[in-house]
Structures are given as structure tokens and as C-alpha cells.
Structure 1
């Protein structure tokens, strides 16, 4: 059963700058997914859990709050809180796009990334998300200057203010070997100085296709473990110095898995 259900998320104002003394947050989360013309409903923390958990249409791991994860060592940085697994999978062929659907995302600053983890010979519901080997397949950060505070980030471009959802399309690597996978979307907001906000959500995929590739060990990360609290691009004050115009997205390189397949 594939449906789309809007998730209208509560929001306030965005913290205006480094001198603000009151922390005012605009949180959110991933509401739905689409592959081709088919929409798959995500978990809605505003709907009673008993109406969602265990339902045959559920493809997303549970997340009970629109609040962020603040620590890189928090176990919930993998798939949010509590991250309980769904019973179903989104079917997708390697090389197809999966689009994450967000309603009213307000934060403007910070990188976005998408990760996969193979479930191996297990059902993904049996996999410990903190022990899985996650590999990054997509990322986007600062798009143009003049600096980190005033530049345009993909996160800003991703916002949509006309009542329609923000759409985040990502292609599953075309030569990825078939199997059961978890997909992890993460938004890292860094608009508050030295207080990063992580917004992760995970869903389950059944990937088909003729691919044979899988990333080598150097691409595989664990959550927690992929990020360091000492990373200057995680604990960062984007407002000082004013001329700062370079940003390195945390988590290592992207694995594209294109090998002997043509780039599309």
C-alpha cells in the first residue's frame, strides 16, 4: 500500500545570528518517500504509534520527535529516536531515484547527505543500525559564497515556501549489487554556533538490478563513529571569521559504484 500523507511540522523562528541569547529552533523530519510515481508513507510522530507500527505499508524506522540529535556519540544518530524497524520495504532498482519528501523545512545552513547500509543475509529488522556498515552515496553543502554565513547552501535551496513539499531526489548507484538495504537521510544544521543539530531518518529498501559492486571497507562507517566531536566542520561557528568560505562535509567520500556501467 503506497500513499502520501502530509506531515505538517511545528516550527518557530530560525536563530538570527551568533549574538542571540534565546535558542529558538525550527525542527522537522522526513515525511514520505517516492519512487517513480509511487509514494510510500513515512512515520508520523503526530499520529498515534499504534496506528502505524507494524502496519504492512510502513517502510520507515520510527522517529518520535522532530527534535534533533545533538551528540555525535548518541546511538540515535544512526536512525533517530527510537529507530524501531518497519515490516516492509520500498522496492527500487539500482539506478532509479528515490525522493525524500519534507514539509516546511526551515533551517538554511549545513550539509545534507544520504547513506546506505546492506543488511546482508538478514531481514533489515534484525540489523543493529549502530553496527551496520554505512556508506555515503550523496552529499551537498555550500553551493555559492560569499561565506558560510551568507552563502547559499543546498539546505536553503531545498526549502519550499509555497505550500508544496521539499523534494530531495537521490539516485541509487546503478551498479550496486541487489539485496536488502537501509537508506539513511541526514540533514546537519549548523546555524547555531558550536551546537550542531543532526536530523537522521532511515527506511528499508529492496534493491534489484544486475549490479555487482559493493564499496570496499574504507567507505564503510558506523553511527556513532563516522563523526568526531572535534571535527571543525561539525562544531563550528559559521559567523567567525567573516571571510570563511570553505566547508568540508563530514563523513568521508561518496561511493558512486559506477565501475563498468555508464554514468547516467
Structure 2
């Protein structure tokens, strides 16, 4: 399985330019176009509610301030999308290549209008989380690569007001190595309408950075070896009730069964029924003849074994077991070559990753230098 990881890592390293951004946000039946990253000379779209990220690359440092709203710490925009509490919102990505990892949506309530909202000072709460589908093998993440939008639900009854909506795509294809999980984050300015008075509890509120650590089981994880379940990082899910409880997977507790009070009266007759022990005595003699008959049956079977001597002559090429050793040797040699190829591919992937990171850091420094001027 490690070999598969090496191939995936190498392939993904060559697709850095294919990382996408939120191309379209949909709420209350209305579509809002999103801007491209600042590193590209596309339209700024200041009237869009989607804040503009700096570069297409991911955030890999969970202690970075970019964990709040994405690369380049995107600033406010003029647009605000209207979203009804209890409704679905959709995030359509530009061309996407990854398929492994959770899709998580957070919200942070702004003290003023969203265009004056600082994401690093907000308290965020998780409202939607999707990882593995019901088959336990495919991820909702793959829908993005298939051109489908990511879907999240705004809690019904949520307190009305202005919020930042944080969409987090976590790519885990290289997460077996510490610090190699990739976060793609986008923030959209919204106003929640037709809501109620529900607010999350203190235990459901987190800050970015601060909500995650690089060692969290859902961030540092091998998704290729003995993997059958996923553990979401961060707080429990807010389900729309005051201090609402829940988990990343949204599992509900099973109610305990009612106490078996009437059962105490029934054991009396039940204990009398086993009295007809004769029933237990009858089966005893029955199996005896049955057990005696099969005994002779295997004897002829064992005598018939030599009859297929002609058949045993057919497997005259029984020297197949003797041919096993060279086959094993070839397999061992093949395995060694596979391991060697794996190491070469992994080394190549790491070199390409270093080049990618170096180029990314160069673009980021250039972007920061330009922004300072």
C-alpha cells in the first residue's frame, strides 16, 4: 500500500496548478460567482461575498493565521449573501483533483457587518462535516473532483445575524507524513435570516489557529493502510439547539430499553416446561445409529482414495511443489525491485514537493512584498 501512496504523492505533486478555489457559492437559490486568487490577474469581483485567497496552494501549518480564511489572509469584500437558517448552501470548486479527506463547514458570528469582520478574532463552530460515504470506502471529497458542488446545511433555529461561513477542504493523500495534510479554506460573508435564538455552547467554540494540532488523528493519518473509519478534528458538531450536542459524524445515542418488569411473572411456567426432559432423552439415542452409519462410510472413502491413482498419475507434474522454490525466489526478487522502485518514486515525490513548496514560498513572498507596497 505504501507503493500506492508514493504514486499518488508523485502524481499530486505535478498537479499543484490544478488546486482550485470556490468558483461559485449558492444560497437561497441564488448563485454568487467567486474571484480567482490574487496571484492570478483575473477580475477582483469586490461585490462577491466570497473573500479572495492569495494563491492556489494549500495551508499546511495548522498554527498559521491562514487557517482562518485561507492563503494570504483574505480581506473583506463588499458582497453579503442572504442565507435562511435550516437551508442548504453549495460550494462549486474550480477544476479539482483530490478525492481523499473530509469537507467541513464552520461559522463565526460577526460583531458587526461581515465587511468589518476579522476571522482571526472570531469564535468558530462546526455546522457540517462529511467524510466517508455509506460504503465506507469513497469520500464526499470525490464529488468535487467529479464537478459536483460540496453541500452543507445551516442549522435550523440558528440565531439571525451576520456570519463568516468557513468552508474547509482537507486533502489527506499525503497525511501519512506529519505536517503534510493540505487545507484549502474559503470564507464567504453571509447574513442568516428566518432563524431563531439558538447559539452554540462554549465547548463548541474554537479559534483558528488553535482548533487543530498537526498530530490530531484526523490530520496525521494513513488513509491507505488498515483504514476503515475517520476521526474528525476540532469540536463537536453544533446541531442547531442551545448547547446542542453531536459528533462530527452526527451519530445519535441509542435509548435504553424499558425495564423488564412483567418478565418476573413468566419465569415460573417457563421453568416448568423444561420438565418434559424425555424430549432431551429422545435425541440422545437417535444420533447413535446416525453416528454409527457415517463411521463405515469414511472407510470406503479412504479406500477409494487409492482408486484415483490414475488421477494421481495425471498430477505427475507434482514436481510443481519443487518448482515453488524458484517461484518464491522470483517473487522475493520482484518484491525487492518493487521496494526499490517505491523508494525511488518516493524520493522523486519528495524532491518535487520541495520544489513545489519552494515555488509556493517564493510566490507568497512576492505577493506579500507587493501587498506591502
Structure 2 length-normalised TM: 0.58
1:92-142 C-alpha deviation (Å, 9 max, x unpaired):
12122211111332201111100100002x122322211210100000112
Cα 1:24–1:232 shift into 2, 3 Å: farther
Whose helix proportion is higher, 1 or 2? 2
Cα 1:237–1:243 shift into 2, 3 Å: closer
Offset, 1:218? 0.7
Matched residue, 1:217: 202
Matched residue, 2:283: none
Deviates further, 39-48 or 103-112: 39-48
Equivalent of residue 91 in structure 2, options 93, 100, 104: 100
Offset, 1:81? 2.1
Aligned residues: 231
Matched residue, 2:151: 169
Offset, 1:224? 0.6
Matched residue, 2:309: none
Matched residue, 1:143: 133
1:24-55 C-alpha deviation (Å, 9 max, x unpaired):
34422211111233111112127636x426x3
Task: Give the unaligned 5+ runs of structure 2.
Answer: 243-373
Is contact 2:49–2:77 with CA below 8 Å preserved after alignment?
Answer: yes
Matched residue, 2:236: 253
1:151-204 C-alpha deviation (Å, 9 max, x unpaired):
2111124431xxxx4212222111011100000001100101321000000010
Q: CA RMSD in A?
A: 2.2
Offset, 1:223? 0.7
Task: Give the unaligned 5+ runs of structure 1.
Answer: 1-15, 260-264
Equivalent of residue 78 in structure 1, options 68, 79, 100: 68
Cα 1:74–1:178 shift into 2, 3 Å: same
The structure whose RCO (Cα within 8 Å, separation 6+) is larger is 1
Structure 1 length-normalised TM: 0.80
Is contact 1:92–1:205 with CA below 8 Å preserved after alignment?
Answer: yes
**Within-5 A mapping of 1:1-264:** 17-20=4-7, 22=10, 23-25=13-15, 26-45=18-37, 48=41, 51-52=43-44, 55=46, 57-82=47-72, 83-120=74-111, 122-144=112-134, 151-160=137-146, 165-192=147-174, 193-194=176-177, 195-239=180-224, 242-258=225-241
Distance in 2 (alpha carbons) for counterparts of 1:210 and 1:59 = 20
Distance in 2 (alpha carbons) for counterparts of 1:104 and 1:154 = 16
Is contact 1:105–1:166 with CA below 8 Å preserved after alignment?
Answer: no
Q: Rg larger in 1 or in 2?
A: 2
